[in-house]
Amino acid sequence: MSNELLLLGPILAAMFTAATPLLFAALGELVVEKSGVLNLGVEGMMLVGAVCGFAITVKTGSSTAGFAAAAVAGAAMGALFGVLTLLLLANQVATGLALTLFGIGLSSLIGQPYVGTPIADVPELHIPGLTDIPVIGEALFGQDAVVYLALLMVPLVHLYLYRTRSGLVLRAVGENHAAAHALGYKVVRIRFLAVMFGGAMSGLAGAYLSLDYTPMWAESMTSGRGWIALALVVFATWKPGRVLLGAWLFGGVTIAQLHVQGMGIAIPSQLLSMLPYLATVVVLVAISRDVARIRLNAPACLGKVFHPDA
């Protein structure tokens, strides 16, 4: 077997791990936007989840407790956004940006004592006979449990949105909140729960970065992944299956730029570091040209304020 083929397995495995935080965050934001709410605070929620998950893991020695704490912290950030935008009717775009700035500052404050603190890696699974398969074994059957949880969330979110009554109600709220309210549905409550779910998913995404992907805490360690997750939702035209493909695409771009640097190719490292974000811009420009598809798939009430008494 050629050396190039042997390298394919580790590259695929690295691509799946790089895609995992994007997948968590984008699926959470997809549910939020399906309810008609636009939350641009994903980056801030990821950072708070990352530092809270790391801190609890250091205190307890349990990465499971760390992930749970990250989900709670992310949900709390989502609840803060919900109070401001759904109850106090603040502008969603401005509040989302403020939430990101707040998350950056809060995570830096909480994380000061933990800079440089080592923790153990989340153990990878080993399935006898499957993990040892050449090329694909390590990539498909040698990941840790969190990677498989992220993959499992794709069909679960799809089934919830398109095969359950509550998912149908959530989509109805996102399409026409006035009609849903007239039918007796609690629009604010539904959107509030959706925002908290999105926050919990962003918290898990951040915790994956600090506890697993790079098991350490560093300020602003999300490096713009929250913004890429927001772009992924549009790239996927608000469909969970396409979010998975988009996460793999951007994860692959991230890993590709690292391998190019390792090969010693004479390209400035700063230019290579731009590749994931450059790819995001190119994809968004390409998608924005198909206005009809965006209008067909985007929730009609996305970003619109709901007045219960109107």
Distance of alpha carbon 6 from alpha carbon 113, whole angstroms? 41
Q: Is residue 309 part of a domain?
A: no
CATH number, domain containing residue 201: 1.10.3470.10
Look at residues 184, 222, 160, 197 and name the one whose alpha carbon lies nearest to residue 78: 197
The chain-wide mean pLDDT, for the chain, equals 88
Are 191 and 55 contacting, i.e. CB atoms less than 8 angstroms apart? no
- Between 303 and 281, the more confident residue is 303
Per-residue CA distances from 171 to 190, 203, 263 (Å):
10, 23, 47
Name, of 41-55, 209-223, 240-254, the range with top average pLDDT. Answer: 41-55
The tally of domains found in the chain comes to 1
Q: Judge whether 306 lies within some domain.
A: no
Residue 116 corresponds to which tokens in the numbers above?
A: 């440089």
- What's phi and psi for 128, nearest 5 deg? -55, 135
The structure tokens listed for 292 are 């009809």
Residue at 138 is within a domain: yes
- Burial class from Cβ neighbours inside 10 Å (0-12, 13-18, 19+) for residue 188 reads middle
For residue 206, the model assigns a pLDDT of: 97
- Is the pLDDT assigned to residue 299 strictly greater than 70? yes
% of the chain exceeding 90 in pLDDT: 64
Find the helix packing angle between 92-111 and 42-60, rounded to 10°.
30
Give the pLDDT score at 124: 77
Give the tens place of pLDDT for each residue, 166-211.
999 999 999 999 999 999 999 999 999 999 999 999 999 999 999 9
Q: Domain residues for 173?
A: 3-297
Pick from 160, 156, 159, 137: nearest CA to 16: 137
pLDDT in tens, 223-244: 899 999 999 998 888 999 999 9
pLDDT band at 258; cut points 50, 70, 90: low
Cα–Cα distance measured from residue 310 to residue 306, given in angstroms and rounded to the nearest whole number = 8
pLDDT of residue 1: 47
Kindly state whether residue 199 falls inside one of the protein's structural domains. yes
